[in-house]
A and B are shown apart, each in its own frame.
Chain A
Amino acid sequence: MKARVPASIAFVAAALAAATSTLSIVQHSGRAPVAARLAPVETVTVVPGTFSFRLPGEYLQAGRPVDAPTRIVSFQAGFEVMKYQVGAGDYARCVTDGACEAANGNATGDTPVTGVSYRDAEAYAAWLSRRTGESWRLPTDEEWSFAAAERLHDDALGLADDGNPAIRWLARYRSEAAGKAERDPQPKPRGHFGANSKGVFDIGGNVWEWTSTCYVNAALRADATVEQSVENCGVRVADGRHRGYMSTFIRDGKSGGCAAGLAPDNLGIRLVRDSPSSVAVLKWLRAKRAG
């Protein structure tokens, strides 16, 4: 679960990922055939662009906790993301097919599925990809943050460390608690929280969305470059009203017990569709014919 990743390698990997997405081509028509019983998934194309991205994870500088540094991130090719979160009805089909575990949430139909873990989200993406012949996956935290646009919550606290660690704990708690008491945590029908400026619906509502990004504990140099980091992929970023870090098997975030923080209201799924390579389509067709 735990991997020690030298900072330089981590950044090479990030650069490679960016390069891959640069090479992909955005396509809207001529998609791979969709299995008859599945309704086409509505997506939004997030157009290419550049934004300032605050890195996920916990950061220390000179041994003191600090806000994560920001990086300028470019999406040169844009990408396609689900317009709505995965609905309970869609998820139920995966359960019926025996490819997903029943969710903990009790929503039905178009209301977003909730009570799903990272593992459930991965299983759903794999199933949807198989069923459609398309390439569905969880977004990275970078992609999610870019697609969130003005609904992205900057989790920087902007506090100078004066040797009192509790100041950051209290500020974080206050920021995550803001409005929680007034908020109805019951999942709402899709579209309830409206679209952001990129046309993506329900971002920052009461359902947090799993990403594929791993939790990182890192130390920064004086110039805010990463000196060292330890990545823990047993914990992934769940994005929403605030950025959460959840163990991959958790389906319902709880704030009880020793963890004196505030958990996401609900955990759900929104996937990214990678443009198909012709090889993948052929493979799928062949598999389909063979089956």
Chain B
Amino acid sequence: MLTRREALLGTAAGAATAALFAAMAATPVLAEVRAGDISTLPREKVTLVAPPFVHEHQQVAIGGPKIVEFQLTVKEQTMVIDDDGTTMQAMTYNGSIPAPMMVVHEGDYLELTLVNPETNEMPHNVDFHAATGALGGAKLLDVNPGEQATIRFKATRAGTFVYHCAPAGMIPWHVVSGMSGTVMVLPRDGLKDEAGKPLKYDRIYYVGENEFYIPRDENGKFKKFDSLGDSYDETLKVMRGLIPTHVVFNGKVGALTGDNAMKASVGETVLFVHSQANRDTRPHIIGGHGDHVWEQGKFANPPAKDLETWFVRGGSAGAALYTFLQPGIYAYVNHNLIEAAELGATAHIMVEGKWNDDLMAQVRAPAPIASY
């Protein structure tokens, strides 16, 4: 059991870390900012959209650097994570798992306001892997219930980056409870292939993969908890075993299938951004490929070509560009197929268009084995 008071104070280990952070914070983190220059920059306010969609953005930047404003509101909520009605005491940014994607260009300033409503139980913050210093900004964003804070960081490296909650003493628990998202910093002149030729996408899908650790009762059934504090001890025990009970895309088993399957057309180029804040994964499009893949997600590196499966390290986001050549239903999976089929890491893509007989044809349909 973790009371709200204990949670606010952090555990003993957390308190020690907090002391260390305080010492680091004493160094003037904001000293190098040339406030005068930045105050004259144009500002843009972006309304975030829930994944797997991404807010509207330019692939090639128009004009010079700007300040792009975003807001995240922390929601602690009970969420259903599979078809059996299994619930998790979740912690989320803006109510979605994963948290929304924010897109800026290299050289832009990302300005985030983090709101932690009074109704929440826990302190929260954000560690941006795209940011430099102050534990990815987490140290400057610690907000207790009833508080809000704003930070600004310069997007100095192009690529797809994870962001996640990192409160002292409870980091992994907040992350595996849903608090992770993605920032995409595009090169100002857009994506390029290995020869420096521009690459464009017609659509972008943001697949956030999360693994969950739900405690079971003595009969092996998943337990329900009334609050975050109630769920803490037992969840931590399952986490320490390192074997997740669920591995899902978009927060729930089957969340990107059926009516909510991703959609594309033959000839369209789709950018798939795959983000996993905590655990390694290996995205694969069944029946397709990755034409240009930034496995590590960092656009200053030339993309790998024609990959069958790509490796996304836990704590990173990767990007894969693919032009669909054949219509049909594609499965987009974590190609540990046990995790895909048994634990939930499967999405579907419905692709419309003309069939290409040259690429594939059924020469003979299934029929009784010919006798000789």
Is there contact, CB below 8 Å, between A255 and B221? Answer: no
Min distance, Cβ A216 to any Cβ of chain B, angstroms: 11
Instruction: Give the complex CA separation of A184 and B329 in angstroms.
Output: 24
With beta carbons under 8 angstroms apart, the residue of B83, B331, B368 that contacts A260 is: B331
Identify the closest chain A residue to B253 (Cβ). A256
- Can you name 4 extra interface pairs (CB under 8 A) apart from A63-B364, A185-B85, A265-B83? A166-B355, A174-B350, A255-B348, A259-B341
Is there contact, CB below 8 Å, between A260 and B286? Answer: yes
Which chain A residues lie closer than 8 Å to B353 at the CB level? 166
17 A/B residue pairs, CB under 8 Å, sorted by A: A63-B364, A63-B365, A166-B351, A166-B352, A177-B257, A180-B259, A181-B260, A230-B366, A255-B254, A256-B342, A257-B333, A257-B340, A257-B346, A259-B341, A260-B286, A260-B328, A262-B258
Q: Scoring A residues 139 to 169 as 1 if CB is less than 8 Å from chain B, else 0, what string do you get?
A: 0000000000000000000000001111101
Which residues of A80-130 have CB atoms within 8 Å of chain B's CB atoms?
106
Q: Scoring B residues 344 to 359 as 1 if CB is less than 8 Å from chain A, else 0, what string do you get?
A: 1110101111110100
Q: Scoring A residues 36 to 67 as 1 if CB is less than 8 Å from chain B, else 0, what string do you get?
A: 00000000000000000000000010011100
Q: Does A4 contact B (CB under 8 A)?
A: yes
Q: Is the interface of A mostly helix, strand, loop or mixed?
A: loop
Is there contact, CB below 8 Å, between A186 and B365? Answer: no
Contact A170/B328 with A4-B368, A257-B333, A265-B83 known, Cβ cut-off 8 Å: yes
Is there contact, CB below 8 Å, between A185 and B83? Answer: yes
Is there contact, CB below 8 Å, between B327 and A166? Answer: yes
Contact A179/B352 with A106-B221, A185-B84 known, Cβ cut-off 8 Å: no
With beta carbons under 8 angstroms apart, the residue of B85, B333, B341 that contacts A254 is: B341
Min distance, Cβ A105 to any Cβ of chain B, angstroms: 8
Identify the closest chain B residue to A180 (Cβ). B258
Contact A163/B84 with A257-B331, A260-B329 known, Cβ cut-off 8 Å: no
Min distance, Cβ B97 to any Cβ of chain A, angstroms: 16
Contact A170/B327 with A177-B259, A228-B367 known, Cβ cut-off 8 Å: yes
Q: Tell me the B residues contacting A by CB distance below 8 Å.
A: 83-85, 221, 254, 257-261, 286, 326-331, 333, 337, 340-342, 344-346, 348, 350-355, 357, 362, 364-368
Min distance, Cβ A232 to any Cβ of chain B, angstroms: 11
With beta carbons under 8 angstroms apart, the residue of B259, B328, B333 that contacts A181 is: B259
Which chain A residues lie closer than 8 Å to B329 at the CB level? 166, 169-170, 173, 260-261
Min distance, Cβ A261 to any Cβ of chain B, angstroms: 8
With beta carbons under 8 angstroms apart, the residue of A163, A170, A262 that contacts B352 is: A170
Is there contact, CB below 8 Å, between B357 and A166? Answer: no
Which chain B residues lie closer than 8 Å to A180 at the CB level? 258-259
Identify the closest chain A residue to B354 (Cβ). A164
Is there contact, CB below 8 Å, between A256 and B350? Answer: no
Instruction: Give the complex CA separation of A166 and B25 in angstroms.
Output: 58
Q: Scoring A residues 173 to 210 as 1 if CB is less than 8 Å from chain B, else 0, what string do you get?
A: 11011111110111000000000000000000000000
Contact A166/B342 with A63-B365, A230-B368 known, Cβ cut-off 8 Å: no
Q: Does A1 contact B (CB under 8 A)?
A: no
Instruction: Give the complex CA separation of A195 and B234 in angstroms.
Output: 43
List the 8 closest pairs (A to B, CB-CB), nearest first.
Answer: A257-B341, A256-B341, A166-B327, A177-B258, A166-B328, A164-B355, A260-B329, A256-B346
Instruction: Give the complex CA separation of A82 and B362 in angstroms.
Output: 44
Identify the closest chain A residue to B335 (Cβ). A257
Min distance, Cβ A228 to any Cβ of chain B, angstroms: 6
